[in-house]
Amino acid sequence: MTPPVRSVGRAFGPSTGWRAAQAGGLIALAGLLAGAWLWPERSLPLFWNVVLPLLPASFLVTPALWRGVCPLATLNMVANRPGGRRLDGRLVPWAGAAGMVLLGLIVPARKFLLQTDGTAFAVLVGGVSLLALVLGAVFQTKAGFCNSLCPVLPVERLYGQRPLMDSGNPRCGDCDLCTPRGCLDLTVTKAVPQTLGPTRRTTGWLNTAFGAFAAGFPGFVYGFGTSAQVEVSQAGLIYLYVGMCTAVSYLTARLVVRAGKFRAEQALPVLAAAAAGAYYWFAAPGTAETLALGRSGMWMLRGVALGFVAWWLVGGRRAVGGR
């Protein structure tokens, strides 16, 4: 049974509540940078093991929750100016490819640098924040960063395809079509279909950038979750291992999809659930340790998270098959 659908957009915004939340996001970003620089031994575990695990769950509920308060999105839009460029509609299927590459570079770096080196973490976050500002000044509204280069965007799209909550648009009062199609803020349930185009009706979706990402993402998550913390000198081994797991995931998904002739609307929710479930399975020990929950707390976190992902898979609103 599909769970009750409630509206986010009608309740909050664009409104004073959302604006306050967005200001709070900027304050949190400044605090994160200061904490990583001054107190990395406390702030980094809190961010990686407690704060970050909240995001995938929020994407499953609706991407609008995070996209409404994300400090990088705020910086992106604050920098907007008249005459910004729109994202060419012909580039939409591949616009997020650079973001996927950034995600593939940043996430494995946790295992040899970002989870322990506060300076490196602060430089990375500061650099991405500056990038969001610059692209916001060059492109119209969200076209330059949030809807193209953001490394979180492909995960938002994958997990947001079957939202449990109806989402409004907490950012844009009037849509200016900065991204002609595939915008999560304009219509969350149609973002993936519009990104994939006609290929979603056949197995051809596997040949698109987003399709390849979705097929390989469960393996990417597994590879990251099963890799050990190493020295910087062994960074290449981490990338090789995670890359191999991603490739195996993609090839396996490709074989299954081609054999069963599964369309995107049939395969993508399963791939998203597999990736989300794997993420929470591997994240639970770190969260339990940071919060001092013990081994029983770790298993409780795993049970709750896997139950929620299963509920999402069964009860989420149909999205990918939309026109």
Half-sphere exposure of 213 (CA within 13 A, CB side): 27
State the burial class of residue 50 (Cβ atoms within 10 Å of its Cβ: 0-12, 13-18, 19+). Answer: middle
Residue 3 pLDDT: 44
Check residues 267 and 166 and name the one with the higher pLDDT. Answer: 267
Report yes or no: 137 and 79 within 8 Å, Cβ to Cβ.
yes
pLDDT, one tens digit per residue, over 112-133 is: 999 999 999 999 999 999 999 9
Region 132-143: mean pLDDT is: 90
Report yes or no: 176 and 141 within 8 Å, Cβ to Cβ.
yes
Q: Is residue 6 part of a domain?
A: no
Q: Is residue 4 part of a domain?
A: no
pTM: 0.90
pLDDT, one tens digit per residue, over 38-48 is: 999 999 999 99
Q: Is residue 270 part of a domain?
A: yes
> Could you tell me the residue range of the domain that residue 217 belongs to?
14-315
pLDDT, one tens digit per residue, over 197-218 is: 899 999 999 999 999 999 999 9
Q: Is residue 5 part of a domain?
A: no
Q: Is residue 212 part of a domain?
A: yes
Report yes or no: 247 and 219 within 8 Å, Cβ to Cβ.
yes
How many domains are contained in the chain? Answer: 1
DSSP single-letter state for residue 14 = S
pLDDT band for 272, please (50, 70, 90 cuts). very high
CA distance 283 to 272: 16
Q: Is residue 8 part of a domain?
A: no
Residue 316 pLDDT: 63
Residue 232 pLDDT: 96
Q: Is residue 119 part of a domain?
A: yes
Q: Is residue 9 part of a domain?
A: no
Report helix angle 235-260 to 97-106, nearest 10. Answer: 130
DSSP single-letter state for residue 51 = I
Average per-residue pLDDT for the chain? 89
Report yes or no: 152 and 61 within 8 Å, Cβ to Cβ.
no
